[in-house]
Amino acid sequence: MLNSDQHILSVVFDLDGTLYSSPELAEEIAAAADVAVASARGVSLDEGKKLIRTSRQRLTEINDEEPTLSLTCMELGLELPDLHRYFEIEVKPERYLLEDPVLKSLLDSLKPICDLYIYTNNNSALAERIMKLLGVGTQFRKIYSIEYCWLPKPDREAFQKVLEDIGGPPESFLFVGDRDQVDLQPAKELGIKTLLVRETADLLQVHKLLGVIP
Ligand SMILES: [Mg+2]
């Protein structure tokens, strides 16, 4: 196998919505956030939902883009570790995810020519469960989960730490994600190559960028 772009040595993937797509699981994560906010504020579940909706609308108006769930909840005074404790209890990816042999073979074909990483706003316990269910629990060299520095994407400081920890010049990286602003913008600002994934089939583009036939 030839790597036509010899510069790319590290491919950093977002997890949720990038390596798999499950509206049901995304809904369950959102519902867990409703419970977390309601509990933290001591209000009913309906009130919690309303608070999140209002916070999201406000942040969307201010920043002209939809905020992440992390930011929406932080804006309501919720501590991220508390939010993730709820995710761990309430979210059951086992209900929705199955092994994905196509994804597994795509990643297997990349592994000999570059190191693969996950950089996610999800917590490590949930991320590992999700990856195991998809059948890709061993393909990645390291997972940068929310616990890495408790600064959810997009965050330039956390992004720099991830880059430094992996090591290598900007041209040795490729960032892959389903949200341009969240997953790719900090990379773009440094001239790092990026790939926006609208559906999991778009992951094949990684191979094209690297000159690999999966
Ligand atoms: Mg995502």
The answer, yes or no, to whether residue 37 has pLDDT greater than 50, is yes
- Nearest CA among 25, 20, 37, 22 for reference residue 85: 37
Say how far apart CA 41 and CA 44 lie, in whole Å. 9
The string of pLDDT tens digits covering residues 137-170 is 999 999 999 999 999 999 999 999 999 999 999 9
- Nearest CA among 206, 185, 3 for reference residue 117: 206
> What band does 3 get if pLDDT is binned at 50, 70 and 90?
very low
Q: 24: Cβ–Cβ under 8 A, 6 or more apart, which residues?
A: 95, 96
User: In this structure, what DSSP letter does residue 20 have?
Assistant: B
Specify the residue for token string 């009130």: 47
Q: What is the CATH number of domain 10-22+98-210?
A: 3.40.50.1000
Tell me what percent of the residues of the chain surpass a pLDDT of 90.
Answer: 90
Ligand 1 centroid vs 26 CA: distance in angstroms?
A: 10
The chain-wide mean pLDDT, for the chain, equals 94
> What band does 2 get if pLDDT is binned at 50, 70 and 90?
very low
Backbone angles phi, psi at 186, to 5 degrees: -60, -35
Ligand 1 centroid vs 19 CA: distance in angstroms?
A: 8
List the domain boundaries for the chain. 10-22+98-210, 24-94
Tell me what percent of the residues of the chain surpass a pLDDT of 70.
Answer: 96
Say how far apart CA 199 and CA 188 lie, in whole Å. 21
Ligand 1 centroid vs 174 CA: distance in angstroms?
A: 16
Q: What distance, in Å, lies between the first and last C-alpha atoms of the chain?
A: 9
Ligand 1 centroid vs 143 CA: distance in angstroms?
A: 14
105 against 200, higher pLDDT = 105
pLDDT score at 6:
57
